[in-house]
Structure 1
Amino acid sequence: MNPTTVSLGSRQVGDGAPCFVLAEVASAHGGSSETALRMLEAAFKMGADGIKFQLFRSEQLVVRRHPGRKDFDEIELGVKEWRKLLRAARASGLALLVEAFDHDSLELAAEEGADAFKVHSTDMENPELIRQVAETGKPVLFATGGVPDDAVRQALDLVGSAPVILLHGFQTFPTPVEEIRFRELAAWKERYRLPVGFLDHTDGGSGFALVAPALAVAWGANLVEKHFTLDRSKKGYDYQSSLNPEDFYRMVELLRQAERAAGDSPASESEGARRYHRTMARSIVAGTLIKRGDVLTREMLAYKRTDARFDPGFPPRQADRVIGRRATRPIQADETIREDMLE
């Protein structure tokens, strides 16, 4: 059984503990490790409890034809840069959380002592990555925005008794207020008896962005993740949902006031969340040229985002429906594998 209180660094996350505030860097560093280091320094001053980085290799995340491939290539940091940055984070006193999108990135973060790992909502149907995260022995944060309930349950089964935090929220650059659905926080907590968190992607330029985390705490959130940037006016990556450092600090103040004011003492996803998941989730594609008549093996496959809004193919969790079947025609590398291509 998963514990109802989870340790992130030196902090406890769960009912009875103060809300854990997680400063999300995501892509706001713009591919500059120096900017990322400056953001780390800012996160400490802003009053965050932890900082989270996204580690990926673009060639393993998206297909070459993906409209966002150029951007991913631009913001990808190298191994040496990540080692320096992760070590600085470990020395900062903040809890270090990593959202790794591939096995190599996961291994790197584990080697550098990440305190916990987050599984992105679009990887919640990627059992291989989930198993690899569980094998680190660290706490796991599952982002559930738009994810089918059976996939959430399967992910929980895959990690066994590992400490888990379930996260509600998704990114639509930014998320409209009516899509936030605070009530789902209480529903997830009641259903799974686990700590829950709020992924706040409200408009960073709105006044509501300062109070949304406090409202989430009132609805039962044990953790709040919020994007930040050093300067919103530059309109860099992820700026839409990001706060400037001074606003982030004010947001934390309001959240803590809400906690003090509180005293001691069946969820359904929106269509917008489901649409986001369908658009961004990985599909099974050919990892190499597959000839007509070839019997498909795991080594022939890759799991990548395809931007296939209307033809997503098979999710990674349905690999058993693909492996062992024969190709009825040639399938090019990076081509989405569909039912009509297989015997």
Structure 2
Amino acid sequence: MNIDKPYIIAEMACSHEGQVALAKKIIDAAGGAGANAIQFQVWTADEVIVRHSPDYNKLKNIELKREEWVCLLNYTRDNWPNLSIIACVYDEESINFCEKIGVDAYKIHAADLSNPKVLSSVARTNKRIDLSIGAATLNEIDLAIKHLRSESDSTIWLMYGYQLFPTSVNSLNLEFMKKISNLYGLTVGYQDHCDADKDEAFWLPAAVFGMGINVIEKHLTHDRSLKGLDHESALNPSEFKKFVSMINTISISRGSGSPREFNEDEKKYRKYSRKSLVARHDLNQGSEVKSNDLIALRALKLGLPPDSIAMIEGKKLKKDILVHDLVTIEDLQ
């Protein structure tokens, strides 16, 4: 299944800093910008990382309680009913919790691409699965898809990209997305992790969308200047709104790829720019039209196109025609 319209996912990640109030600001920014989905990372530190890791305490300090996630889900449903909720999950208990509260889709992080317990648990929900394939081999991707397919017919989107806080443009292989989409016949999305302080945070996803990749995941924070967790690739609310507008504008301009009737602007352009056959000099009634009597020029309105000169040549005129006036079929005997 391939979607033909932009689908923009606002990735909250850890930008909530463990505070429900900040998470609500991010949700409001996503909904207000017109994103299609908000992505929650639902986890407990003990199920993600070893306790002797230097990152353990950092994660433990921002870990949201289950009741806080329920609050955020209800807040989203009440205030932004058109905003789908995607849960990025890392363990079976969190998956079971997300099923109870009713999320719309799941993200499987590349960290669990070869984790059969997580793959199976998500597959059994029968909801859409966004499978992250950042820094994964074709064999790992292939095995993960086969595992999911063995347990479910859920829609699978393959999400390319990875976080290096931020990710350099030199580290990307965007053409791989087209190859992997053709290989599996699946929708492929782009997870952008470029430096949010640089212009590439806008033009690189725009280029990806121009390639025909319609699912774009973009990090969103409440205030990047505070340099909190996951801030490196995250846009501020005003920037994110501009980003969504940019993608939607590109979508309108990209069109359908099929021929269509001219719109009014195209008709005006044709009338203004196309050349028509006009008299090169004054022509008299009864004279026989020769090719050197005509010239193709832009006129005040469209007449006969230049390639219709054979229809006119050798015909006699019914009336006088002044220099640079149109020569039409009605003017001929």
Q: How high is the TM-score relative to the length of structure 2?
A: 0.74
Which amino acid in 2 is paired with 1:82? W
Deviation at 1:181, TM superposition (A): 2.1
| Structure-1 residue corresponding to 2:175 | 183
Match status 1:133 vs 2:125: no
In the alignment of these two chains, the number of paired residues is: 252
Which amino acid in 2 is paired with 1:86? L
Counterpart pick for 2:253 among 261, 265, 277: 261
Per-residue Cα deviation, 1:168-205 (whole angstroms, up to 9, x for no partner): 10000001011222211211111111001000000011
* Distance in 2 (alpha carbons) for counterparts of 1:61 and 1:177: 28
| Structure-2 residue corresponding to 1:302 | none
Structure 1 spans left out of the alignment, 5+ residues: 6-13, 266-343
> Partner of 2:51: helix, strand, or coil?
coil
Report matched runs for 1:163-182 at 5 Å.
163-182=155-174
* Distance in 2 (alpha carbons) for counterparts of 1:133 and 1:54: 14
Deviation at 1:261, TM superposition (A): 2.4
> Partner of 2:232: helix, strand, or coil?
helix
Match status 1:221 vs 2:210: no
Which amino acid in 2 is paired with 1:40? I
Identity value in percent: 31
Which amino acid in 2 is paired with 1:102? D
Which amino acid in 2 is paired with 1:191? L
> Partner of 1:241: helix, strand, or coil?
coil
Question: What RMSD, in angstroms, separates the aligned Cα atoms of the two structures?
Answer: 1.1
| Structure-1 residue corresponding to 2:316 | none
Report matched runs for 1:55-134 at 5 Å.
55-91=42-78, 92-93=80-81, 94-134=83-123
| Structure-1 residue corresponding to 2:322 | none
* Distance in 2 (alpha carbons) for counterparts of 1:259 and 1:188: 22
> Partner of 1:238: helix, strand, or coil?
coil
The answer on whether the counterparts of 1:24 and 1:225 sit within 8 Å (CA) in structure 2 is: yes
* Distance in 1 (alpha carbons) for counterparts of 2:26 and 2:250: 26
Match status 1:50 vs 2:37: yes
Deviation at 1:36, TM superposition (A): 0.7
Match status 1:25 vs 2:17: no
The answer on whether the counterparts of 2:29 and 2:241 sit within 8 Å (CA) in structure 1 is: no
Which amino acid in 1 is paired with 2:193? H
Report matched runs for 1:251-330 at 5 Å.
251-265=243-257
Q: How high is the TM-score relative to the length of structure 1?
A: 0.72
Which amino acid in 2 is paired with 1:71? K
Structure 2 spans left out of the alignment, 5+ residues: 258-333
> Partner of 2:130: helix, strand, or coil?
strand
Give the number of the structure whose alpha-carbon radius of gyration is greater.
Answer: 2
* Distance in 2 (alpha carbons) for counterparts of 1:244 and 1:179: 24
